[in-house]
Amino acid sequence: MNEFILRVIKDVSMIWRGVLLLSVVLLHSRCSDKLLTQGPPPGETTAEPMENPASIMSAFARGDEGFARIFKVSDGLGPTFNQPSCETCHPGDGRGTPQTTLVRFSINGDLVPSLGGPQLQDKSIPGVSPETVPVGAEVSVRMPPPVFGRGLVEAIPAETIIALADPEDRNGDGVSGRVNWVQPADFVPPGFVGSGPGLAIGRFGLKANISSLLQQVVSAYRDDMGVTSDFLAEESIHPSAGDLALSDRVPDPEIPTSEVLDVLMYIRTLAVPNRGEITDQVRSGEMIFTEIGCAVCHVPSLKTGPSPIPSLNEVDAPLYSDLLLHDMGPGLADNRADESADGYEWRTAPLMGIRLAPDNLGGTAHYLHDGRTSDIREAISAHGGEGQRSRDRYIALPVGDQDALVAFVLSL
């Protein structure tokens, strides 16, 4: 080989060695950036406890493990289910992804339990078949919402929520808002917020169709994971799924009451993250938020009532929601009634902690009830029905004011 070619080879290999060295250095500095930090400062994640006495803090710690517990067939997972843990659908206690949505269905308003309704369990353990959506069913796709701050939602007095409702729109602002009165589950003991007898205010779920946090947790175990408890001790399985006796051999109830109650306490005392940086732009966005009527539904703060849990006792809850149902127009409609909520109505999405949604999910969050968009501006533009007037005023804003409004929302 002549000397010129040899030199070229040597130079090229030197260059490659340089590139390699540089990338090792870069990689190392990126890793060490990550490794050397102490984790996010307090208030910067969606998975932190509120300050409470030690007994509550230890229930929180146990509930944290329960929430993350991945159920196996031998623990009672299934026979049919959606996902094996709470955390799979609510990562970091925040919202889910298009891979973890739930589907609810009915036929002409009938919940069709004999066909597997009202929830599609699309996975199953060996020996049984997963469910499929029957032909002709009304279908509603639901993005898992965040679960932090829901203890505050539970602690808002009924009178406060009722006072916000204006079903006849007497004040003529184009926004009515009404309570979803629902039938509480009979396993919810008296004394729990949202227990019976009689109808109670629906607060939980995207159509506010569940009145108590205990019911929400217990039915998540049973219907989303196929895990029975003393509260709901029978598996939910439809007749054509297969032979229950041959598949799920774990005796019911599959988890003890204490595990349910610890997870309940965990959800109750998960803190709302701190606000982001309050810049001048954020301050002006906040004024616009009120001026153009966003705050009529996304009510910035509601006061909780008396609570035995100190962190929930008579505090200001920055929910950015009135917890009411609103007709959001045909664009957002799922055209499927749920308890007394109709196919156009949704509960005002609480905006608290929304700034951390993208961080929780590796950079991209999915907004609205079905997660149809990752663009917060599109989520705002999609408001119709009772939200139309406010949405039109947003669209008519100069670009700088739109940016300020978005900056404010992303500081919550």
Show contacts with ligand HEC in window 349-368 (CB under 6 A): 349, 354, 367-368
Rounded distance between C-alpha atoms, residue 28 and residue 48, angstroms: 30
**For ligand HEC, how many residues bind (rule: CB under 6 A)?**
54
Rounded distance between C-alpha atoms, residue 128 and residue 124, angstroms: 6
User: Rounded to whole angstroms, what are the CA distances from 310 to 51, 171, 204, 266, 301?
Assistant: 8, 36, 22, 14, 18
User: Rounded to whole angstroms, what are the CA distances from 248 to 63, 130, 236, 297?
Assistant: 25, 13, 12, 45
Cα of first residue to Cα of last residue in the chain, in angstroms, is: 68
* Selected binder of ligand HEC within 352, 369, 411, 412 (CB under 6 A): 369
Give me the sign of the Cα torsion angle 301, 306, 309, 310: positive
Q: Does 376 bind ligand HEC (CB under 6 A)?
A: yes
Q: Does 348 bind ligand HEC (CB under 6 A)?
A: yes
The mark string for 109-138 relative to ligand HEC (x by CB under 6 A, - otherwise) is ------------------------------
Rounded distance between C-alpha atoms, residue 131 and residue 80, angstroms: 8
Q: Does 102 bind ligand HEC (CB under 6 A)?
A: yes
Q: Which stretch binds ligand HEC (CB under 6 A): 163-171, 187-195, 244-252, 342-350?
A: 342-350
Q: Read off the tokens for 180.
A: 């979803």
* Selected binder of ligand HEC within 48, 224, 248, 262 (CB under 6 A): 224
* Cβ at position 255, least distance to ligand HEC in Å: 9
Q: Does 269 bind ligand HEC (CB under 6 A)?
A: no
Q: Does 228 bind ligand HEC (CB under 6 A)?
A: no
CA atoms within 13 A on the CB side of 93: 26
Rounded distance between C-alpha atoms, residue 319 and residue 412, angstroms: 10
Q: Which stretch binds ligand HEC (CB under 6 A): 19-27, 237-245, 274-282, 389-397?
A: 389-397
Give me the sign of the Cα torsion angle 310, 317, 333, 407: negative
Q: Does 200 bind ligand HEC (CB under 6 A)?
A: no
Report the interface residues with ligand HEC, using CB under 6 A: 82-83, 86, 88-90, 100, 102, 104, 142, 144-145, 147, 150, 175, 204-207, 216-217, 220-221, 224-225, 263, 267, 292-294, 296-298, 326, 328, 332, 346, 348-349, 354, 367-369, 376, 379-380, 383, 386-387, 390-391, 394, 405, 409
